[in-house]
Amino acid sequence: MDKCQPPIHDVAGIGIGPFNLGLAALAAPIDELDAVFIDENERFDWHPGLLLEGATLQTPFMADLVTLADPTSEYSFLNYLKQTGRIYAFYIRENFFMLRREYNQYCRWVAERLDNLVFATRVLATDYDDANACYVLTLEDTASGERRELRARALVLGSGPSVYVPACCQDLGERAIHACEFGPASERLQASDSITVVGSGQSAAEVFHALLLEQERHGYRLDWFTRSPRFFALNYDKLTLEMTSPEYVDYFHGLSEHRRHTLGEEHKALYKGIDESLINAIYDLMYERDVAGTLDVGLQANVELRDARTTADGDGVELDFFQHEQGAGFTHRSQSVVLATGFAYRVPDYIDGIADRIRWDAQGRFDTSRYYAVDHDNAEIFVQNAEIHTHGFVTPDLGMACYRNACILRALTGVEHYPIEQRIAFQHFAVDTPGEPAAGRRRAPA
């Protein structure tokens, strides 16, 4: 190799969200693995506009970056609490669900202690160097604009999903914001005469609750519309939680593409629901306001947003909704709108140069192998949180991130550095192992 040529890393991770940050933390102690992770942001920051007061994760604290793969890791949430002097306060709090703001602080603490992360660096393009059997990433420093190349034998694509804004809402200007922008925009929003939240799930509920708490002080009308048939509570019973398991991933991945799609629609309530405690808090507050005669709120489920436009006077937005069961539509006017319409994965442009090395399904999505590879040899290109169509609703679940990362590290190194569970559930999902007793199935074979 030319002495002037940059070194070839074993693996490059693109994007540093929670999933690739967890992979970086688990990769750090593996001396034989040369890993580097790249992100265009200046530092780790997880949905800063949704770090609302009182908002918590929907998974217990053990679903941190490393614990479910390596409980002894120095990068665990409990070690973070110990090192920052808050472990007893957390113990006394007696709540397994860490604050979302606390999770962001914890992830930043981990990021500051890793030397395999490169921030403020954008990946512009990716190509393949046949002569050296490696991927070549063209990078750009986001501050200086300086470009350079980085080479790696394997890639982990962790750019994650992007903000989803319905097409009809993309020209509404500052009258409409996405929920992820809510924090910085809340004061401006609360100066409105009326505010409408559109969307379902936890983020919509958190934004609605935050606005409801401040409503009397600011005096705005508040409405909430969702396409979901009702305001679903998150299904959090323990046998349902067993579906976030290796066995269920095995089962789901083995189904036909058509059946996976059908199940995916049915499963949305399992991971896009609202914490029951938050639903109850919203109801109780509305009840209290109703008793006081000050309630100025509207909620309606089962309505689809069909169109939207700025009003003729430019002082608001008109939203056209359609109620499918009645087959009837109506128009709602609001001065400001918060779109809690979630996120959607879009294949990143930077992989255009290596598209021929990737398997694609008939819909133009990654044809992801059971163990998260998308290249033809199942050995070089892996994805994080881009495989919901092949692996099911566990894909964005923080609790399964360590499992996925342990699998990726095993594929990269040929060594199972972190024990990988194969069977953890008491129930069966397929008919290929009828009558097998639960006892003795808890650990993976050597």
Q: Dihedral (C-alpha) 228, 229, 232, 235: value to the nearest 10 degrees? A: -100
Q: What are phi and psi of 413, to 5 degrees?
A: -110, -15
pLDDT band, very low/low/confident/very high, at 443 (cuts 50, 70, 90): very low
pLDDT recorded at residue 433? 53
Render pLDDT for 79-122 as a digit per residue (tens, 0 to 9): 999 999 999 999 999 999 999 999 999 999 999 999 999 999 99
What is the arithmetic mean of pLDDT over 327-354?
94
Local structure of 90: helix, strand or coil: helix
* Block residue for tokens 């954008």: 122
Domain ranges of the chain: 8-161+345-413, 164-234+273-343
pLDDT recorded at residue 442? 47
pLDDT recorded at residue 343? 85
Question: Can you tell me the distance from the alpha carbon of 175 to that of 177, in angstroms, rounded to the nearest whole number?
Answer: 7
pLDDT recorded at residue 155? 98
Listed in order, strand segments (DSSP E) in 26-120 are: 35-38, 117-118
Render pLDDT for 351-360 as a digit per residue (tens, 0 to 9): 999 999 999 9
pLDDT recorded at residue 272? 77
The two tokens of residue 163 are 């903000």
Strand order in the sheet with 328-334: 303-310, 317-323, 328-334
Instruction: Say if residues 155 and 382 touch (Cβ distance below 8 Å).
Output: yes
**Which among 355, 359, 354 is positioned nearest to 134, based on CA atoms?**
354
Give percent of the chain above pLDDT 70.
96
Superfamily holding 8-161+345-413: FAD/NAD(P)-binding domain (3.50.50.60)
pLDDT recorded at residue 160? 81
Helices of type H across 296-345: none
Tell me if domain 8-161+345-413 and domain 164-234+273-343 are identical in fold.
yes
State how far the alpha carbon of 56 is from the alpha carbons of 60, 338, 399, in Å: 10, 20, 15
What is the CA 290 to chain-centroid distance, rounded?
A: 36
pLDDT band, very low/low/confident/very high, at 264 (cuts 50, 70, 90): confident
Render pLDDT for 28-83 as a digit per residue (tens, 0 to 9): 999 999 999 999 999 999 888 888 888 888 889 999 999 999 999 999 999 999 99
pLDDT recorded at residue 432? 67
Question: Can you tell me the distance from the alpha carbon of 89 to that of 230, in angstroms, rounded to the nearest whole number?
Answer: 37
For the domain bounded by 164-234+273-343, which CATH number is listed? 3.50.50.60
Range in 22-31, 133-142, 309-318 with the lowest mean pLDDT: 309-318
pLDDT recorded at residue 294? 92
pLDDT recorded at residue 232? 84
